Structure 1
Amino acid sequence: MDEELKAGGAPKYAQQLSRSLTFKENVLITLSAVTPASSVFIIVPSVVQGVGGASAIAFAVAALAGVFMAFCYAELSSRYPVTGGEYAFAARTLGRPTGFAMFVLALVGGIGILAVVALGTGDYLGVVWGSLHGKGVGVAVVLIATVVALFNIRTNAWVTGVFLFLELAALVVLAVLGFLHVDQPVSTLWTAQTLGNSGVLEGASWGLVAAATTTAMFAYNGYGTAVYFSEETREAGATIGRAILWSLGVTVAVEMIPLIAVLLGTPSMGALIGADSPMNYFLLARGNSTLNTVVSLGIALAVINAVIAMMLQMGRLLYSSARDGSWPDAIGRPLAAVHPRLKTPIPATLVIGVVSALAAWLVPFSTLLLATGANLLVLYAVVALSALVGRLTGRTAGASYRMPLGLTGPIVILAVMAYVAWEATTTDWAPMVVTLAVFASGYVYYYAYLHARRDERWTLPEPADEEADATGRPVHPDNSPNNVPTV
């Protein structure tokens, strides 16, 4: 296609986006997509309510699992630093049909999650201004984020960086309050407790801790977002793996430290576990209502920041699919357009913004949750399988980052995802069925439209050339042909 170049005999993407991000700026945007403050105030409380002080164990084990997942992302991303993200991995290791199925899953799930996150903004802004609640706030957040995402990528890196600083300040408040008022013994951190029917603390099983670990693992999610900005990051082939690992490391630290502080600093473990909002209970108990209001504003800003980062990510996902020839030209060519000055995929970003706003406004919240409930589970499983197959077949042999411990990482993740899938489907099978139906629809589209045109569409070129280093050698020198499985 006309957006591809040939070099060394292998087709490559042309450099259309602005390769202007530094390693640190990539990490800033990635951490904004993770939104650790939102995880601490929204996901952590459900774990605390389930297993009490053993939440620390659950999050520590989840961090270990996250490291194995990050290893998979890092190797795949350094071999394929392509803005399409997970679908680019899957297509090049598992075959084009599976790659397109992954794209559909990422697109539908991403829009749904974006709408869900935006709708949560009103819960925290309402604490500051009572009139700011309801769907209108969520839609407004989506539209504002869309406008911000249209600016060049470096501007967005610094906008999200400022917001990230503010949300981290909210977590610092939690940590300081907790460590200044330690009332609970250190043994609390490995004591699994929950509230019984009589409202008295009782022991919780380690099976519940294992289940809480899977929830905690998803609280760290988002570090893989770094690859979506790889075509805008300098020396991406050499640094994108480190960006992913650093993003996970920072996320684990800024989520676990406040959690441990709250567990040790709460005046009453029973009251913390039994509170409707454990973090707000803690802020009121150790601080005051003014502090609770200020921190709630910080969490609202964190949610807005996450929506901006996700808008950047999803706009690039749709742009990448159009560049790969996923759609008829009447649709695909406009979506593959990049603004000549801003170097931003404006049409694709606008489409994501409009569709996400409509989803937030028109789709019932329960339906959005149903559509996204098992999305991450399947996505993680396919990424792990891509890393496994890529290593076994040699398709990731050119990666500048290699997973430590060989195949251990993807095998561990596949085992964990199998366990989570079993637990999830026995509790509620509907989200998994919806997710698999969305995934399957990608195969249907591929064979209905793309398969017959596979010689000119979805040819999956090599990553775009990067700058030469100080010695004049390419940063990502692997120019070997794709060896992409075709089906």
Structure 2
Amino acid sequence: MSESSTPPPSSRLEQLGYSQQLVRRLNIPEVVGLAMADVSPTMAVLFLSAGVFVIGGTFSIGAGLILSAVVVLISLCLAELAGMFPIAGGMYSLVRKVLPGPFSWITMFNYLIQGIVIPASIALGMVGFLRDLFPGLGFPDTVVAVVLLGLATAIALTKVEVGAWATGAMVIVECIVLGIVTVAALAHPHQNLAEVTFHPTVLSNGELVAVGFAVMLATLAPAFNVINGYDAALGFSEELKGGERNIAKAVIISAVLACVLIMVPLISALIAAPDLKEFFSAPAPVVYSVEASLGDRARIIVDIGVAIALFNAMVSLLMYFGRGVYTTGRDAMWPAAVNRVLGSINRFHVPGAGIMCLAVPAAVLVFTSALNFLIIFAGTVIAAVYFCIGMAAFWSRRSMPDEPRPYRMPLWPLPPVAVIVFTGIALATQETQYLVAEVVLIALALAAWAGSKRWSPRPAPAVPHDVSERGLDPIA
């Protein structure tokens, strides 16, 4: 069926019970650029990968390759659901339209907590790289982190095009830095790719030992925080020009690019490591490999690239999750007075209140939490959200068989089943402290769900089943 027969996204929004308040100013490349800023390949390779290498050793490569396949399957699930429900709430909105209330609240809490935890961890992590560039920086780390968070918030509060252009320019710089890292690493290989991939080792008590099955499982959840952020394309669904299929295209393109731009330099850096013990012991293992190839001055290139990447990610994260907060207010998830504030937009036609609801607690978190805990716990909540997405993608075919699907994922039910199994294993094998934190978060979500029955004055917008038919063939 021709694309002209597909109702425009604004019409679909109205059919779902929403009005078009955000302005459609973005095209697919701009939305992909915003998503890639959220993915932040440079941050993932040079900053987030350190914790995964500590846990999994060289199996981090195997975990990354496995996760890359899962990421593509997740993106197929997201693409189908996002085409059905082109709403700015991202993954929270998709689950809310398909699964019962408790699941939507659990997803919402796990989803939105990322908009607080990840920017806080990024702001703290960025300070170390800035101190390398500017040794005379005389302010405490927490103060510098809060200032950086404030600057990112200021950009996120302006017109969406400004954020898209700024993040797009910084993504280009990131790719240049990653190219330098990759070329430098491959110019001086020291490890055998097959050996580190199929015979993984990890540093334990100062010695390299074979990676056991338990360690492999424990590596999966933290790895979720390395290849992540491609779902940010969904947050701009109501600002993307064109039909719902464009949303599906944007999220799939973002996911594939994320896998390539992260895994290629990550593998290259491991191959370039002269000494695996030194590599795993280094605060930033990939930086160790680059310095071994290019010399001490390579740190300047790395520091500049990571600083840009981290700041870029903060801007994109606040823009993305701020739109999620905005959607919860528009959905009347909270008491009426709160909904009026959260569901509002500022003079730049962006959800300013939603962004501030993330920035303020993130600034507080900078002063109270440990960086490593934030990074690994972020992987836990991400896995929990994807678990719910897999369930929603599977259940939607059964509970909504007549719902129009501008994009149908191929190989169904393999993608959602694989996502459910993989994320379930990743969650079950997390360390106790992160599981306890996740249980507390779930308990808070269920308490809020119970409370919403008292303060919600009206039911959620109904999902229609009699809208006009649309093309159902996969994306070309």
- TM class by smaller structure: 0.7 to 0.9
What displacement does 1:385 show? 0.9
Aligned to 1:56: 61
What displacement does 1:232 show? 0.5
TM-score normalised according to structure 1 size: 0.85
What displacement does 1:179 show? 1.7
Q: After alignment, is 96-105 or 56-65 more displaced?
A: 96-105
Map residues 301-312 of structure 1 onto 2, 5 A cutoff: 301-312=308-319
Describe the superposition over 1:265-314 as per-residue Cα deviations: whole angstroms up to 9, x where unpaired. Answer: 23333432343432221122111222212211210111111110111012
Aligned to 2:7: none
TM-score normalised according to structure 2 size: 0.87
Aligned to 1:393: 399
Structure 2 runs not aligned, ≥5 long:
1-9, 471-476
Q: After alignment, is 383-392 or 434-443 more displaced?
A: 434-443
What displacement does 1:9 show? 9.7
Q: 1:192 to 1:369 in 2, by over 3 A?
A: closer
- Among 342, 367, 383, the alignment partner of 1:377 is 383
Q: Does 1:159 align with 2:159?
A: no
SS class of match (1:194): strand
Aligned to 1:432: 435
Residues 27 and 243 of structure 1 are in contact (CA less than 8 Å); yes or no, is this contact kept in structure 2?
Answer: yes
Q: Does 1:252 align with 2:259?
A: yes
Residues 17 and 461 of structure 2 are in contact (CA less than 8 Å); yes or no, is this contact kept in structure 1?
Answer: no
- Give the AA of the match of 1:384: G
Q: Does 1:298 align with 2:305?
A: yes
User: In structure 2, what is the Cα distance between the partners aligned to 1:40 and 1:8?
Assistant: 37
User: In structure 1, what is the Cα distance between the partners aligned to 2:218 and 2:436?
Assistant: 20
SS class of match (2:190): coil
Residues 335 and 455 of structure 2 are in contact (CA less than 8 Å); yes or no, is this contact kept in structure 1?
Answer: no
User: In structure 1, what is the Cα distance between the partners aligned to 2:435 and 2:358?
Assistant: 24
Q: After alignment, is 19-28 or 345-354 more displaced?
A: 345-354
What displacement does 1:189 show? 4.1
Q: 1:137 to 1:457 in 2, by over 3 A?
A: farther
Aligned to 1:194: 202
Q: 1:248 to 1:8 in 2, by over 3 A?
A: closer
Map residues 236-275 of structure 1 onto 2, 5 A cutoff: 236-275=243-282
Aligned to 1:219: 226
Residues 101 and 442 of structure 1 are in contact (CA less than 8 Å); yes or no, is this contact kept in structure 2?
Answer: yes
Residues 53 and 188 of structure 1 are in contact (CA less than 8 Å); yes or no, is this contact kept in structure 2?
Answer: no
What displacement does 1:31 show? 0.8
Q: 1:460 to 1:228 in 2, by over 3 A?
A: farther
- Give the AA of the match of 2:25: S
Residues 370 and 434 of structure 1 are in contact (CA less than 8 Å); yes or no, is this contact kept in structure 2?
Answer: no
Q: What is the RMSD of the two structures over their aligned residues, measured on CA atoms?
A: 2.8
User: In structure 1, what is the Cα distance between the partners aligned to 2:13 and 2:434?
Assistant: 46
What displacement does 1:366 show? 7.2
What displacement does 1:249 show? 0.9
What displacement does 1:214 show? 4.1
Residues 159 and 350 of structure 2 are in contact (CA less than 8 Å); yes or no, is this contact kept in structure 1?
Answer: yes
Could you list the runs of 4 or more consecutive aligned residues of structure 1 that deviate by over 6 angstroms after TM superposition?
5-9
Residues 63 and 217 of structure 1 are in contact (CA less than 8 Å); yes or no, is this contact kept in structure 2?
Answer: no
Map residues 47-446 of structure 1 onto 2, 5 A cutoff: 47-130=52-135, 131=137, 134-190=141-197, 191-195=199-203, 197=205, 199-205=206-212, 207-340=214-347, 342-362=348-368, 368=374, 372=378, 374-394=380-400, 397-424=403-430, 427-428=431-432, 430-446=433-449
- Give the AA of the match of 1:81: P
Aligned to 2:23: 18
User: In structure 2, what is the Cα distance between the partners aligned to 1:299 and 1:387?
Assistant: 35
Q: 1:10 to 1:187 in 2, by over 3 A?
A: closer
User: In structure 2, what is the Cα distance between the partners aligned to 1:240 and 1:108?
Assistant: 24
Q: 1:152 to 1:200 in 2, by over 3 A?
A: same
What displacement does 1:361 show? 3.3
What displacement does 1:207 show? 4.7
Q: 1:11 to 1:289 in 2, by over 3 A?
A: closer
User: In structure 2, what is the Cα distance between the partners aligned to 1:255 and 1:76?
Assistant: 26
State the identity %.
Answer: 24
Aligned to 1:468: none
